[in-house]
Structure 1
Amino acid sequence: MRQKLRVAAYAVVVREGQLLLARSPGPGGVSEWVLPGGGMEHGEDPYDTVRREVEEETGYLVEVTALLGVHSTRRTFPARFGRTVDHQGVRLVYEARVTGGELRHEVNGSTELAAWQPLDAVSGLTRIRLVDIALRLWRQRPPTGRAEPVEG
């Protein structure tokens, strides 16, 4: 079984009761809302990754104001040539604030749209699970940097 590790950095950017999100084409053609962010390039610091990714996906320049936590996932799925991949994702979640730039959509990238969404409407959006995890980290600010699973 092939093993793959992906380290990524994401930003929680909240302004005037709204959360900055990007929309990404999801499986089966259904778009999903995601946090701005993405994978680290080899040799890149995660702090620089999150700033680069937010600018690429939304047009905004941001200042990182806090490390909210780290979330890790692991799943197995089929790959090419009948092989299986054991994939682990390590996601660093930062808090950031806009310092410049203008909202725009990413061109030829992993997302198709960037928008501010009211915090109280996020639960009604089609979104990836990391959005909820990151908002829990932002609200709870656990000293361990780990969002505990929600019961039920």
Structure 2
Amino acid sequence: MREKLRVAAYAVCVRDGRLLLARSPAPGGTFEWVLPGGGMDHGEDPHDTVVRELEEETGYHIEVTGLLGIDSVRHVLPGERLRAPVDHHGVRIVYEGRIAGGELRDEVGGSTDTAAWFDLADVPALTRVPLIDTALRLWRERPADGRASVTSGT
């Protein structure tokens, strides 16, 4: 089995009770909402990654205001064509960010297609990746060890 490690950085940006999210294509031609952010380039600092990725996906420039925590997930993904399955380990660094400039816009030619603000109360009804729930727990709870409490169903 092949092994793959992916390190990524994401931002929780809440303004006036609304959360900034980006929409990403999902398998089967559907879409799901994701936190703005993404994979680190080799040699890139995670802080720089989240600033770059958020600007690419939303048009906003952010000020990173805190480190909320680090989430680690592991999945075995099926192999494609004649390739072996992949043991995928994702390390997601979750920051808190404040919008410091720029204007909301959609990403063109990237991993997302649109960005939008959602009332925090409306987020549970969205088709979304589990990281959003984890990141919001980190944002609400501010655990000293940087790990979100585990709840059933996530």
TM-score range, shorter chain: over 0.9
TM-score (normalizing by structure 1)? 0.98
Secondary structure class of the residue paired with 1:134 = helix
How far 1:27 moved relative to its partner? 1.3
Deviates more, 1:1-10 or 1:74-83: 74-83
Match of 2:40 in 1: 40
- Tell me the distance in 2 between the aligned counterparts of 1:151 and 1:103: 34
Residues 107-143 of structure 1: CA deviation (Å, up to 9, x unaligned): 0000011000000000000000000000000000000
Match of 1:19 in 2: 19
How far 1:82 moved relative to its partner? 3.7
5+ residue gaps in structure 1? none
How far 1:151 moved relative to its partner? 3.7
Residues 72-95 of structure 1: CA deviation (Å, up to 9, x unaligned): 000111223141111100000000
Within-5 A mapping of 1:59-78: 59-78=59-78
- Tell me the distance in 2 between the aligned counterparts of 1:5 and 1:89: 6
Q: Which runs of 4+ in 1 moved over 6 A?
A: none
Letter in 2 for 1:118: D
Secondary structure class of the residue paired with 1:47 = helix
Letter in 2 for 1:22: A
Match of 2:99 in 1: 98
- Tell me the distance in 1 between the aligned counterparts of 2:134 and 2:50: 17
Residues 49-93 of structure 1: CA deviation (Å, up to 9, x unaligned): 000000000000000000000000001112231411111000000
Match of 1:141 in 2: 142
5+ residue gaps in structure 2? none
Residues 26-59 of structure 1: CA deviation (Å, up to 9, x unaligned): 1111100000000000000000000000000000
Q: Matched residue pairs, number? A: 152
Match of 1:83 in 2: 84
Aligned-pair identity in percent equals 66
